Amino acid sequence: MLRAADEYSSEQIRKWLDKTILGIRERKIGREQLQHATITLSNFGAIAGLFATPVVTPPQVAIVGAGRIMDKVQIREGQVVAIKSLPLSITFDHRACTGGEAARFVKALSMHLQNKR
């Protein structure tokens, strides 16, 4: 679990994430190290899911679910182009934030994933 994430640079978060993913794949990170997060990421796309409705359990405030990346067609300036699309789902606790705050978070996450900050 990444604590005090606001104190990390994007590069430091990337390093932490890479190290954590490697630890999970090598089964060197225990379940207890991944519990009690404020925001959880669920990757149900790895098993072909697109969207989900994850359940928030305290002390979590939100769960962001990543679906399977898929090819889509989009029209840009009158031209049909193929794009990659990553479906995102979010469940959040209304006691912790408003729908507007959650929507702004998802928008910022989406822009970051597209490198359009």
Model confidence, pTM: 0.70
Q: How far apart are CA 78 and CA 27, in angstroms?
A: 49
Q: State pLDDT tens for residues 13-47.
A: 889 888 888 888 888 887 777 777 788 888 888 88
- What's the pLDDT score for residue 102? 92
The answer for residues whose C-beta is within 8 angstroms of residue 102's C-beta and 6 or more apart is 62, 90, 92
Q: How far apart are CA 20 and CA 2, in angstroms?
A: 10
Active-site annotation, residues: 94
